[in-house]
Structure 1
Amino acid sequence: MSTSKHIQTILNGTIHALKSILPMNIEISSPSLTTEPFIQQEMGVLIGLVGDLKGRIIIDGSPTTFGAIGSTMFGMPLEGEMLESFTGEFGNMIAGNLCTHVGQNELELDITPPTVMVGNTKLYGFQSAFRLPASIDTAGNITILLTIDEEE
């Protein structure tokens, strides 16, 4: 399978994962190509992809947005370390669901443990990436960045 076909499968799988996991309406904008560096503003989670394709998924948002998602999913407000822990687990849920979905399309992927990033962060180390903005009802906006490592 070609890399462009892999990317389309992963983008579709990401959209499927978001709609499956989030218990609220979500509006996903068209993906766009972006180059480094990616500036993460407030809070995010990075999860590595390994297998038929190597890359990373970064879910970028604000503590308020992640908190609203967590509050809706668990019925209680999350803050501090609990919010950071939830943000990592939210990334795990999205990436795990994505791996299951793409596996049904003959693309084998596995994920690395999540890295939660708090504060302003510049991410380098990729040639290009796909940016997938999403607006979540009653929570706010997140951006999902899919970076693909070039084959050697």
Structure 2
Amino acid sequence: MNIDANTSAIVRDGTSEQSDELLQDILQALRQVVPLSLSVTDPRSDNEEWQDEWGVLIGVTGDMYGRVVILGEGEVFGRLGESMFGMALEGDMLHSFVGELANMVTGQAATLVSGRGYRIDITPPTVITGKMHIFGLRNVVRMSVAFERAGELQFIISRDTEGKV
């Protein structure tokens, strides 16, 4: 998938190039971390509320500020974990895996971003279970990522122009 350079849903202040690079790096990181084929819907600007069974939030700070939120059903996270570790994950192991998956993906994306000269860091993951509403995210882009034999996760990237996460 190629993200069009005109897709500037995250940032509307003229720095869409960084946003597009961050999206590309998250997708590249997913391909490196998860051993399943994946397909991606075109990223879109999205200001609606979200509800899912599982979620994880990681802050991005440095030359880019914002948040990466991954949402999905527990069964999808479980199948991803099983594809990566060869065993079913349930209970505390599944909870831990959700946070670790977000760490691996955003950490790898941060490494890719920093390779282009940006100073970037991520915060520890916050794992959320149960139905939730997410408020307060600004300059949002959302993309659905479908993993072969596992299901679909939603990736929501919120981008602030300045400040700390």
Structure 2 letter corresponding to 1:109: I
- Contact 2:76/2:150 (CA < 8 Å) preserved in 1? yes
Query: Which residue does the alignment assign to 2:53?
Result: 42
Query: Which residue does the alignment assign to 1:33?
Result: 45
Distance 2:116 2:46 in 1: 26
Using the aligned pairs only, state the percent identity: 37
Matched, 1:56 2:67: yes
**Paired residue secondary structure (1:122):** coil
Structure 2 letter corresponding to 1:18: L
Distance 2:162 2:127 in 1: 26
Q: CA deviation at 1:71?
A: 0.6
Query: Which residue does the alignment assign to 2:20?
Result: 8
Q: CA deviation at 1:150?
A: 3.7
Structure 2 letter corresponding to 1:58: V
- Structure 1 segment 48-87 matched on structure 2, within 5 A: 48-87=59-98
Which consecutive residues of structure 2, in runs of 5 or more, have no partner in the other structure? 1-13
Query: Which residue does the alignment assign to 1:142?
Result: 153
**Paired residue secondary structure (1:123):** coil
- Contact 1:6/1:107 (CA < 8 Å) preserved in 2? no
Query: Which residue does the alignment assign to 1:125?
Result: 136
Q: CA deviation at 1:44?
A: 1.1
Q: CA deviation at 1:104?
A: 1.6
Distance 1:126 1:24 in 2: 30
Which deviates further from its counterpart, 15-24 or 118-127? 118-127
Please report the TM-score for the alignment, with normalisation by the length of structure 1: 0.94
Distance 1:103 1:19 in 2: 18
Query: Which residue does the alignment assign to 1:89?
Result: 100
Structure 1 letter corresponding to 2:112: H
Q: CA deviation at 1:52?
A: 0.5
Distance 2:51 2:30 in 1: 20
Distance 2:138 2:100 in 1: 27
Structure 2 letter corresponding to 1:16: Q
Query: Which residue does the alignment assign to 1:98?
Result: 109
